[in-house]
Structure 1
Amino acid sequence: MTTSEFVKQFRESDPRKLALQASRYPDVDMPYALNQIQGWQTALRKLPSWAACDGVVYPPHLNMEQCSSEATARYKQQVARRWAERIPNASRTSMTDLTGGFGVDFSFTSRCFDCATYVERNASLCDVVGANLPRLGIRNAQVKCAEAEAVLEQLEPQTMIFLDPARRDEHGAKTVLIADCTPDVCQLLSSLMQKSQFVMLKLSPMLDWHKAIVDLDGKVREVHIVSADGECKELLLVLASDGTPEVQVFCVDILSRPDSEGQYPRSEFVYSIGGEAEPQPTNSKLKIQNSTFLFEPNASVMKAGCFDEIARAYGISAISRNSHLFLSDREIDGFPGRTFVIDAVTTMNKRQLRQTLSGMKQANIAVRNFPLSVAELRKRLKLSDGGDTYIFATTTSDGDHILMLTHKTKK
């Protein structure tokens, strides 16, 4: 049995168990085969269209874990296409990815352009990507093994330049400042803007995007805060020199698994910044009671901090300035987050707690602007985790500590 035959036959098996059977397959390059099987299994979850493509070669496990998911890569593809279509009189469009990595983002964004160049300083990754691109049906691309800075210096003008700077320092620690990433986009900014119509920059979701706008000298035109299944995954900035003072912010939450039509459903909240918005006052007059709807924004909205904008857009009221929970007497279609119905409200008074929680054994607990942690509150309430009840512990605008017992809406 050859190595490729072994991979194809056992790709759904447990790599750890296969490793114990290595002596039974002397003709198989077992370390390589196990890496390919593990890579395929990761791709099945993370890159389903790649997993469905025979012959794709997978890199070491760390590269697979760090690469973009198909859901977020397809989102970048849509952003790139929209911006490329804005370019007037573009007879031939082009893009260069200066930090190619495993090539997931490149494989999707490159399809929006007539020609594309993948750049990566790791020779092994270049070999892998060079073999994979034709198998994925991408024939408009070339692969360059080189440093990003050297390629940028000699680069002909492009429609788009893409960068995903390394976010770990020489000791392996994560960095969250643009200036600490490799390559340093701030130092390259002038060249990047001279060599491209627009730049797409992928950064850590931990980065302070308000500071990034300042650090990038007013060139940011769009900020995309991208979450998958409720977890903030990446920060995507689009830079251009069109002189527009306004910055659009996209708070996006994508489902990581495609639907029956192969699409990745998402919710999206978009707003603009450029001037100081009037704060949205809390509404302490709206009584927190049974059948009131409770709204919890998704991770992207939380990262954006656009709570006043959310309140204005949907006509909802904040429980308090720091709760990041909202109320309304009506249900709202398309809210970017989760919606609950309030079944009961209690203070932390022991008697009230006993009455309200009578017979309850388990609940999902979240705290927002509350003096106890989830673990501390769970211990005090003597509730195990799980069930259909969701308890939100928070502080009202009047300073009262309350618990809201809720259940999810059916939508």
Structure 2
Amino acid sequence: MTTSEFIIQFRESDPRRLALQASRYPDVDMPFALNQIQGWQTAQRKLPSWAACDGVVYPPHLNMEQCSSEPTARYKQQVARRWVEAVQPDADTCMTDLTGGFGVDFSFTSRCFSSATYVERNASLCDVVSANLPRLGIQNATAKCAEAEDVLEQLEPQTMIFLDPARRDEHGAKTVLIADCTPDVCQLLPRLMAKSQFVMLKLSPMLDWHKAIVDLDGKVREVHIVSADGECKELLLVLASDGKPEVQVFCVDIQSRPDSEGQYPRSEFVYSIATNAQEEIVENNSKLENSTSAQPTNSKLKIQNSKFLHEPNASVMKAGCFDEIARAYGICAISRNSHLFLSDREIDGFPGRSFAIDAVTTMNKRQLRQPLSGMKQANIAVRNFPLSVAELRKRLKLSDGGDTYIFATTTSDGDHILMITHKTKK
């Protein structure tokens, strides 16, 4: 049995169990085969369109875990296509990815251009991607092993340049500042803008994007805060030299499972901010707080009479756009630090989760007795509350799970309350 035959025959098997049977297959390059089987299994979950292509070679496990997922890569493709149609709709277009990695983002964004160049400093990774491109049906691209800075220096004018700077230092520690990433985009900024009509920059979700707008000399035109299944995955910045005074912020939450038509459903909340306001926000943390906290309700009666509770998704939480959310949907915050909102009606398209309120109670044992009567389990979340989830669960004597959701929080008057809810149907 050849190595290729072994991979195809056993790609759904447990690699750890296969490793114990290595002596039975002397003609098989077992380390390579096991890595390919593990890579294919990861791709089935993370990159299903790649897993469906025979012959794709997968890199070591770490590269597979760090690469973009298909839903987030397809989202970048849509952003790139929209920008291409805006800046160069009727001409040949070209792009260069200066930090290609395993090539997932490149494999999707390159399809928006007449020609595309993949650049990667790691020779073995570059060889893998070069072999994979035709297997993935990408015929308009070439791969080049080189340093990003060297290629940029010689680069002809591009429609788009893409960068995903390495976010670890020489000791392996994570970095979140743009200037600490490799390559340093701030240092390369003048050349990047001179060589392209727009730049797409992928960054850590931990980054302070307000500061990034300042650090990037006001060239940021769009900020995309991308979450998948409720977890913030990445920041995507689009840079251009058009001198517009506003930045559009996209709070996007994508479902990781495709629908029946192969599309990845998503919710999206979009708002604009003034470019020149960012420096003030960064310099004064209290201003940042005040600018991103929705005005709370001061009425206990309002809390008691509200029918629905709304919890923003991870992208909205990262953006901190609570005032904008409140205005857009006509809802009010329980308090400045709760990040929970109330309404007396259902909200269509809310970017997050919505719940119907069954009861509101304090921590008083007598008040708790009736709402918790017969309840054995509940999903518990705490927002600006003195007890942890574990402590509160022990106090309420409830196991985890079920259809009931309890939100413990503090009102603007300082009262500790429990909101007992169930999910609304969408």
Q: Same fold (TM over 0.5)?
A: yes
Compute the displacement of 1:279 (Å): 19
Deviations 1:302-330 (A, max 9, x none): 00000000000001111111111111110
CA distance in 2, matches of 1:283, 1:327: 12
Q: Does the Cα contact within 8 Å between 2:169 and 2:181 map onto a contact in 1?
A: yes
Q: Does the Cα contact within 8 Å between 1:283 and 1:317 map onto a contact in 2?
A: no
Q: Does the Cα contact within 8 Å between 1:120 and 1:145 map onto a contact in 2?
A: yes
CA distance in 1, matches of 2:5, 2:238: 44
1:83 to 1:103, Cα distance in 2 relative to 1, 3 A = same
Deviations 1:183-229 (A, max 9, x none): 11011011100010000000000101001001101000000000001
1:118 to 1:88, Cα distance in 2 relative to 1, 3 A = closer
Q: Does the Cα contact within 8 Å between 1:289 and 1:342 map onto a contact in 2?
A: no
CA RMSD of aligned residues (A): 2.1
Q: Which runs of 5+ in 1 are unaligned?
A: none
1:276 to 1:315, Cα distance in 2 relative to 1, 3 A = farther
Deviations 1:338-391 (A, max 9, x none): 010011111011222233222222111111111111122112222111111100
CA distance in 1, matches of 2:71, 2:329: 27
Q: Does the Cα contact within 8 Å between 2:118 and 2:142 map onto a contact in 1?
A: yes
Identify, as 1 or 2, the structure richer in helix.
Answer: 2
SS of equivalent to 1:42: helix
Compute the displacement of 1:262 (Å): 0.7
SS of equivalent to 2:117: strand
Compute the displacement of 1:283 (Å): 5.3
Q: Does the Cα contact within 8 Å between 1:282 and 1:321 map onto a contact in 2?
A: no
Compute the displacement of 1:282 (Å): 3.2
Q: Which runs of 5+ in 2 are unaligned?
A: 281-295
1:304 is matched with 319
Compute the displacement of 1:177 (Å): 0.6
Compute the displacement of 1:80 (Å): 0.3
CA distance in 2, matches of 1:277, 1:193: 22
1:359 to 1:89, Cα distance in 2 relative to 1, 3 A = closer
Deviations 1:140-180 (A, max 9, x none): 11111011011111111100000000011111111111111
SS of equivalent to 1:287: helix
Q: Does the Cα contact within 8 Å between 1:291 and 1:343 map onto a contact in 2?
A: no
SS of equivalent to 1:276: helix
TM normalised by structure 1 equals 0.97
Deviations 1:100-127 (A, max 9, x none): 0000000000000001000000011101
Q: Does the Cα contact within 8 Å between 2:94 and 2:158 map onto a contact in 1?
A: yes
SS of equivalent to 2:270: strand
1:390 is matched with 405
% identity of equivalent residues: 90
SS of equivalent to 1:338: strand
CA distance in 2, matches of 1:152, 1:2: 42
Q: Does the Cα contact within 8 Å between 1:279 and 1:308 map onto a contact in 2?
A: no
Q: Does the Cα contact within 8 Å between 2:218 and 2:275 map onto a contact in 1?
A: no
2:131 is matched with 131
After the TM superposition, which of the residue ranges 354-363 and 309-318 deviates more from structure 2? Answer: 354-363
2:199 is matched with 199
2:157 is the counterpart of 1:157:
yes
SS of equivalent to 1:65: helix
SS of equivalent to 1:394: strand
Compute the displacement of 1:276 (Å): 9.9
1:205 to 1:347, Cα distance in 2 relative to 1, 3 A = same
TM normalised by structure 2 equals 0.94
1:228 is matched with 228
Q: Does the Cα contact within 8 Å between 2:335 and 2:412 map onto a contact in 1?
A: yes
CA distance in 2, matches of 1:219, 1:70: 28
After the TM superposition, which of the residue ranges 250-259 and 90-99 deviates more from structure 2? Answer: 90-99
1:352 to 1:94, Cα distance in 2 relative to 1, 3 A = same
After the TM superposition, which of the residue ranges 293-302 and 364-373 deviates more from structure 2? Answer: 364-373
Compute the displacement of 1:290 (Å): 6.7
